[in-house]
Structure 1
């Protein structure tokens, strides 16, 4: 009879027993450290979905003319049309950026040089003046629709261009304070569950460290070291974390 199969079975049994003993030792060690420790450190979190209550809309329009004076006059006439359009739709808070001036030029053939090579001349055709606008409103859903309706200005001869939107939740500061309390409460609940596994109970809060606030598009859990502050989404998710240490008894 070959004794090797019996030997392999004995060795396998020894390895299995050693593995189970090792796992039990790890669990026992963890509970021992928990029982011997006077504190427990955990991280709690709080999440809140919010809707932006302020929209910042940026746009611009331009006027071209052969002379700088004429371009300025056309720009002022267009500004009156833009202002009337926005105010008629309930947008009263309008900030104007400095006017940008650019020469309108074209390339034209010139006389040949002494070697007979053709030359190109840069000729000034006129000026383009661009006026930037920034509008702020609490109508966070209506303003984007208004941007789509701004084609009415094109029909009036205004070269109006909608640039971008920023959606802002102005009550984020208040929400952060409330959510820190919620995150601390969550941390305590987690600590109580862990302590109970070691037959211990929590005493008081020893220390707490506030994590950076993450303001992301709705349902996103993205994080960054210095915190996110999304302005692209109308609906957002705010995430707050607190690292807390509790005494045990």
Structure 2
């Protein structure tokens, strides 16, 4: 009989403790759910301060020596032209020369290869101009047909635009986005007749750079526009506050 009463007491105590723990966990769960989650935006328009412009030129000849001589002549024409436009020698970077052996293939009537003839060597070289004088290089790139008219087979790439103070800009935008999120959280708490508690969590979103007034889509991994001189940077910051 005593043993049965003892078992009943143990069971009763266990039930009371379990009820207490469940109630406490339920209260804490509700407490943890009393949060405000807000997202703030940092946005900034800016103008690129670095331009990168590149092009390539090539020559073909029956012998390697003749091809090199012709390519050297074109390289000097390009250097002279760019120098006449005010581009300093240290702003021109010429790549190593790339060469290919060219063959002409003759096919049989059934489409199989019949014979290959060696037709010569094609040599190609590229030049990259990097400058902080964005407007000047931009204008030269538009006038480059003058170089082509002089007999140089110059294949141009569109200019690329960059910003050298991107790290500083990003820090300022994070601060702006954080401030924006904080203002939103305070406004929500005030309108809900609640008190904003401690900051529990903060997450930074993806840094995006797009062309100004463009229809570019944001990328999951972050977009980085290099085609537009005038750009817009965007960043988001998500804050989670406790509400009292």
TM range (shorter): 0.7 to 0.9
> What is the Cα-based RMSD across aligned positions, in Å?
2.6
User: Does residue 91 of structure 1 match 2:93?
Assistant: no
Distance between the aligned counterparts of 1:53 and 1:75, measured in 2?
33
Q: Match of 1:20?
A: none
Match of 1:74 in 2: 70
Instruction: Give, in angstroms, the shift of residue 38 of structure 1.
Output: 4.9
Structure 2 unmatched ranges of 5 or more: 1-29
Secondary structure in structure 2 of the residue aligned to 1:164: coil
| Aligned length, in residue pairs | 208
Matched, 1:102 2:113: no
Counterpart of 2:133 (choices 133, 136, 139) is 139
CA distance in 1, matches of 2:106, 2:221: 53
The separation in 1 between residues aligned to 2:33 and 2:100, in whole angstroms, is: 72
Distance 1:64 1:195 in 2: 73
Q: Does 1:236 find its partner at 2:234?
A: no
Question: Which among 147, 157, 160 is matched to residue 153 of structure 1?
Answer: 147
Q: Distance in 1 between matches of 2:118 and 2:141?
A: 34
TM-score for both structures, normalised by structure 1: 0.74
Cα contact 1:53–1:138 (8 A) shared by 2? yes
Structure 2 residue 167 is matched with structure 1 residue 173: yes
**1:1-249 pair list within 5 angstroms:** 38-92=34-88, 93-106=91-104, 121-220=115-214, 222-249=217-244
Instruction: List gaps (5 residues or longer) in structure 1.
Output: 1-33, 111-118
State the TM-score, normalized to the length of structure 2.
0.76
